[in-house]
Amino acid sequence: MSEIILKTQNLSRHFGALMAVDDVTLSFERGLVHAVLGPNGAGKTTLINLLSGEIPPSSGSIHFKDQNITGLPANQISQLGIGRSFQKTNIFPIFTCFENCRLAAQSRMKGSFRFFRSARSYKQINALAEKGLEMCGLANRRDTIAQAMSYGEQRQLEIGMMLSTEPELLLLDEPLAGMGAEESLKVIELLKRLAKDHTLILIEHDMDAVFAVADRLAVMVNGRLLETGTVGEVRASKAVQEAYLGSDEEGH
């Protein structure tokens, strides 16, 4: 059962003197939900950026299945079936929701140069886009220009676009940030559904959400991996309680 889908080995990334990600060795099992926790500035987004090819590592390696993907550009990593959503909403604000998802789906078309047939006439691509919209809960917003929607809805679209590329491994960078309570619940339900047939790597500050969906936890502080394990193991860890969870729970 415990097949490793993604693995990092001594992965590091520095910005000048700052070690944003520092010697992280981590394995992600296929089919599970892995949550990455840590205080602000811990290096969680940088880790996702490394895994998705957004930025190259300073040292270390990343393996996806049996392939070394270290240093591959983001578009190639996406094509391998690793999808990501962004912490800072990263959509096409002047396009409709459907077009946002359709463009995402179109990236899966074989052969990138198609010049004459209308983009809207590719049935499979349209179906993928509709499915993405449906899943992220924006089917009723299909023809709305993205920038005319609420911030929370734009966050949903962010997820819908990722899903329209049909990835098998999802990198989600704080999908719930900026969503209202109701939207959050919907997205948590979506994450649970996705967890059935995807591998998820989830960054999230909302602890209720994390404990509701995560199978494994990894805690980062100052770029370093502090602790990994099952939810129970990590919650019991003294180091983690001191560094992160403890203070967080007191805050409630």
Partner 1 sequence: MYAISRSSLIVLILLGLGFGIYPLVGDSYYIRLLTKIMALGIFAMSLDLLIGFTGLISLGHAAFFGVSAYTVVWFVVKMEILNAFLIFPAALAVAGLCALVIGWLSIRTAGIYFIMITLAFAQMLHAFFKDQHYWGGTDGINFNDKPMLMVGDTVLFDLSNKINLYYLTFSLMVAAFIFLAVLLRSPFGRAIQGVKVNEGRMRAMGYNINHLKLMSFVIAGCLAGAAGFIEATRTSFVNPEYLSWHASGNVMVMVILGGMGSLYGSLLGALALTLLGDNISSLWDHWLLIMGGFVIAVVMFMPDGISGSIESLSRRFRKASPPREETGP
Ligand X SMILES: Nc1ncnc2c1ncn2[C@@H]1O[C@H](COP(=O)(O)OP(=O)(O)OP(=O)(O)O)[C@@H](O)[C@H]1O
Binding residues for ligand X (CB under 6 A): 15, 18, 20, 38, 40-46, 87
As measured in angstroms, the least distance from the Cβ of 87 to ligand X is 6
Characterize the bridge pairing of strands 4-15 and 18-29: antiparallel
- Selected from 18, 67, 114, 189, the binder of partner 1 by CB under 8 A is 114
Q: Dihedral of CA 57/61/65/69: which sign?
A: positive
- Selected from 8, 12, 45, 199, the binder of Mg ion by CB under 5 A is 45
Contact 221, 20 (CB under 8 A): no
Contact 141, 149 (CB under 8 A): yes
**Residue 143 partner contact from partner 1, ligand X, Mg ion, none using kind-dependent CB cut-offs of 5 to 8 Å:** partner 1
Contact 5, 65 (CB under 8 A): yes
Q: How far is CA 121 from CA 72, 77, 82, 144, in A?
A: 32, 27, 26, 20
- C-beta of 148 vs 151, nearer to ligand X: 151
Q: Is 107 in the site for Mg ion (CB under 5 A)?
A: no
Overall size of the chain counted in residues? 252
**Residue 30 partner contact from Mg ion, ligand X, partner 1, none using kind-dependent CB cut-offs of 5 to 8 Å:** none
Binding mask 31-70 for partner 1 (x = CB under 8 A): ---------------------x-x----------------
Instruction: Pick left, alpha or beta for residue 242 (phi over 0 → left; psi -120 to 50 → alpha; otherwise beta).
Output: alpha
- Selected from 79, 140, 150, 247, the binder of partner 1 by CB under 8 A is 79
C-alpha–C-alpha distance, residues 91 and 159, integer Å: 10
Residue ranges of the alpha helices (H) in 6-150?
44-51, 74-79, 97-106, 123-136
As measured in angstroms, the least distance from the Cβ of 117 to ligand X is 40
- Selected from 58, 144, 222, 241, the binder of partner 1 by CB under 8 A is 144
- Selected from 55, 74, 231, 239, the binder of partner 1 by CB under 8 A is 74
Q: Is 109 in the site for partner 1 (CB under 8 A)?
A: yes
- C-beta of 45 vs 106, nearer to ligand X: 45
C-alpha–C-alpha distance, residues 83 and 78, integer Å: 6
- C-beta of 21 vs 149, nearer to Mg ion: 21
As measured in angstroms, the least distance from the Cβ of 14 to partner 1 is 22
Closest CA to 47 of 32, 64, 66, 26: 26
Residues binding partner 1 (CB under 8 A): 52, 54, 73-76, 78-79, 84, 86, 90-96, 99, 102-104, 106-109, 112-122, 125-126, 143-145, 161, 165
> Which residues bind to Mg ion, rule: CB under 5 A?
45, 87
